[in-house]
C-alpha cells in the first residue's frame, strides 16, 4: 500500500463508492466528495497527492466546463497536486484542453480497473517527483544562502575606499567581466563578493577558486569537470567550477599564476561560454559573471610574454584597483576597533581599548601586509593582553621590532628576534604559519614575543 492521500470528486455516489473500494487497498487514504463546492473549505487539499475530478456536475450538461473550472481552482490552491479528469463523454479536444489547464491525465467512464489503477499510479509517481523536486529546490536555495552568506564586511569610510565602492556599485548591475587588482591582504575577494551581492545574480551562487592552488594537471578537471573513468581517480561524473557557478558569479583569484597553456584553455571557455568535461565530447553551455583578481602587474606580464594579451582584454572590461591600507589612513582605527571587538568577544576579554599613543602608532605604521596583517596583529595583541588598556608596546609591528639586516644581529637574542620578525613578515602576520615555519608551537611563539615585548 502506498502512503498517499487520494481525493475523489463526483456527483454520482455509485462512482464514489466504486472508486473508494478500488483504491482503498492501494493507497493509505481515500476521501470522497459528491459536491465540488466542498473543495473551497477542505483544509487538507494541499496535503492531497491525487485528485480524481469529474468534468460534469449539473444534469444534462456535458461540456466539461464545470470540471475545468474546478481544476483551475484546485491548481490555484495546490499547484503540485496531480489531477485526473473523469467524464462519460469522451472528446479529444476536451482532453487536450484539460491537459493544457494542468491536468495530469484523463479517464473515460466506464473505466477498466487495471487501466485506472495504472493511470492513478502514474499520477502518484508524477506527484512524488514534483515533491522531491520542490524539496531539492528548497535545499538548493538554503545552500545558496549559506554559501553566499557574507560573514566579512567592507569596513571604512576613507575617500580611497569610497571611490572604489562607488565604482563597484555602478558596475555590479551589469554582466561585464571585472578584474580586481591590489596588494596581498587588501580585501580583493570582499570586493568580488560585493559585486555579486549588488548584482542581479545575487540569489544565485558565488563560487571562488584560488587559481594558485590548482596544479596544471588538474586545471581542466577543477574548472570544467570530468566524466567517470576519464582518469585514474575519476570515480564518478563531476561538474567543474564553471558549471557549478552557472547562473551566478565565478571568482578566479590569483589569475596571474596561470601558465600560458592553461590561460589558452581558460580564454576559450570565457569566449565561447561553453565547456567540455574531461573525458567527454559533449559541449555544455554556461552562464557566468566572471570576476578575476590578482596582485600581479598583468600589463607588465603581457610585455614580458608571461600573460596572454587577448585573455587580459577578456577579463579586464572593468578594472577595480583596491587601495592599500596605507592609502586608507582614516580607516585604520575603524578596522582596528572592529577586529578588537571581534577578538575580545572570541577570547573572552571584553572591555579592551586602545590608548591614544597606541592609536597613533597604528596610524603611522605602513601595514605592508594590509588588512590581513592588521587582523593578525589585533588578534595577537588581544590574546597576549594583560590589562584592559592596550599600549604601543602591546602591538608587535614589524617596523619596530625588526633588527637591521645590514648591521646584522649582535646577540643570540637579537638573532631570535630577527627570525621571528622575518617569519611573521613572510606569513603576513599569521601566527600559526610563522610558528610552523620556525618549527615551534604557536604557544611557544606567543611566549617568546610576550617575553621580548615586556622588556
Report in angstroms the alpha-carbon separations of 347 from 378, 383, 435: 12, 7, 20
**244/308 Cα distance (integer angstroms):** 26
Q: Please tell me the total count of domains within the chain.
A: 3
Instruction: Let me know whether 84 and 169 are in one domain.
Output: no
pLDDT per position as a tens digit, 143-180: 666 555 555 679 999 999 999 999 999 999 999 999 99
Instruction: Let me know whether 341 and 428 are in one domain.
Output: yes
Instruction: Let me know whether 62 and 176 are in one domain.
Output: no
Q: Name the nearest CA neighbour of 442 among 431, 452, 450.
A: 431
In a domain, 150, yes or no: no
pLDDT per position as a tens digit, 293-306: 999 999 999 999 99
Alpha helices in 295-365 (DSSP H): 298-303, 309-315, 329-346, 356-364
Instruction: Let me know whether 201 and 307 are in one domain.
Output: yes
Instruction: Let me know whether 49 and 132 are in one domain.
Output: yes
**Contact indicator for 176, 149 with CB cutoff of 8 Å:** no
In a domain, 143, yes or no: no
Mapped onto helix, strand or coil, the DSSP state of residue 209 is: strand
**115/428 Cα distance (integer angstroms):** 73
**Contact indicator for 423, 434 with CB cutoff of 8 Å:** yes
**414/119 Cα distance (integer angstroms):** 86
Instruction: Let me know whether 231 and 345 are in one domain.
Output: no
Looking at 323, 351, 384, the residue that finishes a domain is 323
- Please report the pLDDT score of residue 404 as a whole number: 39
Instruction: Let me know whether 10 and 97 are in one domain.
Output: yes
Contacts of 38 by beta carbon, 8 Å cutoff, 6+ apart? 9
- Please report the pLDDT score of residue 410 as a whole number: 59
Report in angstroms the alpha-carbon separations of 436 from 178, 185, 328, 420, 452: 36, 20, 32, 11, 20
Instruction: Let me know whether 314 and 333 are in one domain.
Output: no
pLDDT per position as a tens digit, 197-236: 999 999 888 999 999 888 888 899 999 999 988 887 888 8
CATH of the domain at 349: 1.10.8.60
Domain that holds residue 40: 2-136
Mapped onto helix, strand or coil, the DSSP state of residue 430 is: coil
- Please report the pLDDT score of residue 143 as a whole number: 64
pLDDT value at 407 more than 70: no
Note if the bond before 179 is cis, omega within 30 degrees. no
Instruction: Let me know whether 15 and 91 are in one domain.
Output: yes
Instruction: Let me know whether 396 and 411 are in one domain.
Output: yes
Instruction: Let me know whether 388 and 296 are in one domain.
Output: no
Burial of 443 (0-12, 13-18, 19+ CB in 10 A): exposed
In a domain, 145, yes or no: no
* Percent of all residues in the chain with a pLDDT value above 90, rounded to a whole number: 55
User: 424 vs 309, which has greater pLDDT?
Assistant: 309
Contacts of 321 by beta carbon, 8 Å cutoff, 6+ apart? 164, 181, 182
- Please report the pLDDT score of residue 401 as a whole number: 40
In a domain, 44, yes or no: yes
Mapped onto helix, strand or coil, the DSSP state of residue 297 is: coil
In a domain, 6, yes or no: yes
pLDDT-derived band of residue 89, with 50, 70 and 90 as boundaries?
A: confident
In a domain, 146, yes or no: no
Residue 431: other Cβ atoms inside 10 A? 20
Instruction: Let me know whether 343 and 441 are in one domain.
Output: yes
**26/19 Cα distance (integer angstroms):** 11
Q: Mean per-residue pLDDT for 184-206?
A: 93
pLDDT-derived band of residue 275, with 50, 70 and 90 as boundaries?
A: very high
In a domain, 20, yes or no: yes
- Nine cell digits for residue 414: 637579537
In a domain, 310, yes or no: yes
**HSE of 305, CA atoms in CB hemisphere, 13 A:** 0
Looking at 270, 302, 323, the residue that finishes a domain is 323
CATH of the domain at 183: 3.40.50.300
Looking at 323, 344, 379, the residue that finishes a domain is 323
Amino acid at each position: 500500500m502506498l502512503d498517499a492521500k487520494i481525493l475523489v470528486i463526483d456527483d454520482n455516489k455509485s462512482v464514489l463508492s466504486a472508486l473508494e473500494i478500488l483504491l482503498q487497498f492501494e493507497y493509505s487514504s481515500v476521501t470522497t466528495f459528491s459536491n465540488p463546492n466542498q473543495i473551497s473549505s477542505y483544509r487538507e487539499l494541499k496535503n492531497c497527492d491525487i485528485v480524481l475530478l469529474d468534468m460534469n456536475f449539473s444534469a444534462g450538461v456535458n461540456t466539461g466546463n464545470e470540471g475545468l473550472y474546478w481544476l483551475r481552482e484546485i491548481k490555484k490552491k495546490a499547484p503540485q497536486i496531480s489531477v485526473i479528469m473523469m467524464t462519460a463523454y469522451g472528446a479529444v479536444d476536451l482532453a487536450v484542453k484539460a491537459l493544457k489547464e494542468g491536468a495530469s491525465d484523463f479517464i473515460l467512464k466506464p473505466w477498466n480497473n487495471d487501466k485506472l489503477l495504472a493511470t492513478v499510479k502514474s499520477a502518484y509517481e508524477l506527484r512524488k517527483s514534483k515533491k522531491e523536486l520542490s524539496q531539492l529546490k528548497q535545499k538548493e536555495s538554503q545552500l545558496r544562502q549559506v554559501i553566499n552568506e557574507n560573514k566579512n564586511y567592507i569596513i571604512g569610510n576613507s575617500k580611497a575606499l569610497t571611490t572604489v565602492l562607488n565604482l563597484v556599485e555602478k558596475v555590479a548591475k551589469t554582466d561585464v567581466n571585472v578584474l580586481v587588482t591590489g596588494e596581498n591582504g587588501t580585501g580583493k575577494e570582499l570586493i568580488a563578493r560585493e559585486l555579486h551581492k549588488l548584482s542581479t545574480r545575487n540569489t544565485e551562487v558565488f563560487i571562488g577558486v584560488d587559481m594558485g592552488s590548482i596544479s596544471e594537471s588538474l586545471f581542466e578537471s577543477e574548472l570544467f569537470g570530468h566524466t567517470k573513468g576519464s582518469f585514474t581517480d575519476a570515480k564518478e561524473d563531476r561538474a567543474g567550477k564553471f558549471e557549478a557557478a552557472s547562473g551566478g558569479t565565478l571568482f578566479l583569484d590569483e589569475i596571474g599564476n596561470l601558465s600560458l597553456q592553461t590561460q589558452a584553455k581558460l580564454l576559450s571557455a570565457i569566449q565561447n561560454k561553453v565547456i567540455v568535461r574531461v573525458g567527454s565530447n559533449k559541449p555544455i553551455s554556461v552562464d557566468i559573471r566572471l570576476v578575476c583578481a590578482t596582485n600581479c602587474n598583468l600589463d607588465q606580464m603581457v610585455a614580458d610574454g608571461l600573460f596572454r594579451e587577448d585573455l587580459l582584454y577578456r577579463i579586464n572590461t572593468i578594472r577595480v584597483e583596491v587601495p592599500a591600507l596605507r592609502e586608507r589612513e582614516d580607516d585604520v582605527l575603524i578596522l582596528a576597533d572592529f577586529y578588537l571587538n571581534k577578538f575580545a568577544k572570541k577570547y573572552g576579554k571584553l572591555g579592551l581599548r586602545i590608548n591614544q599613543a597606541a592609536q597613533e602608532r597604528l596610524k603611522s605604521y605602513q601595514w605592508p601586509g594590509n588588512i590581513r596583517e592588521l587582523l593578525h596583529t589585533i588578534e595577537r595583541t588581544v590574546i597576549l593582553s594583560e590589562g584592559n588598556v592596550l599600549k604601543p608596546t602591546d602591538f608587535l609591528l614589524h617596523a619596530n621590532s625588526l633588527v637591521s639586516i645590514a648591521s646584522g644581529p649582535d646577540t643570540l637574542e637579537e638573532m631570535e628576534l630577527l627570525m621571528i620578525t622575518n617569519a611573521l613578515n613572510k606569513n603576513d602576520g599569521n601566527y600559526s604559519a610563522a610558528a610552523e615555519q620556525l618549527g615551534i608551537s604557536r604557544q611557544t611563539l606567543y611566549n617568546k614575543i610576550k617575553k621580548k615585548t615586556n622588556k
